Amino acid sequence: MNVSLSVRRTGLDLPRVILQVDGLVVAASGVLAAIGARPQVQFLGLGAPMALVGLGVGVLLCAARLMRDSRRHAIARSMVAVPALLNDAW
């Protein structure tokens, strides 16, 4: 006997939304780090702002990857869990 359940889709794909929001927040952090490197380095008392610019560019690359992953047809649980764990470690 075959049993099928009718599931109503609300249009909200939570893993996709989580990756997109995380990508936007990470992108904003990268832009702030890259553009505001000089004042941040002066405030922290560090030497060269280029390290912070490099960090900002690297974070922007991570944001691009999150946004690309959010557009995949199927999103695996690990695609949401790994960025969440990295955010916690950060």
Tens of pLDDT, residue by residue over 4-61, are: 444 455 667 888 998 999 999 999 999 999 999 888 888 888 788 888 899 999 999 9
Q: Which two tokens stand for residue 47?
A: 């030497």
Q: Which two tokens stand for residue 51?
A: 């390290």
The residues near 84 (Cβ < 8 Å, ≥ 6 apart) are 18, 22
pTM of structure = 0.75
* Domain ranges across the chain: 14-89
pLDDT range class, residue 75, cuts 50, 70, 90: confident
Mean pLDDT of all residues in 62-82: 89
11: region left, alpha or beta (phi > 0 left; psi from -120 to 50 alpha):
left
Q: Three-state SS for 89?
A: helix
- Residue 71, CA distances (Å) to 39, 76, 88 in order: 35, 12, 23
Mean pLDDT of all residues in 61-69: 93
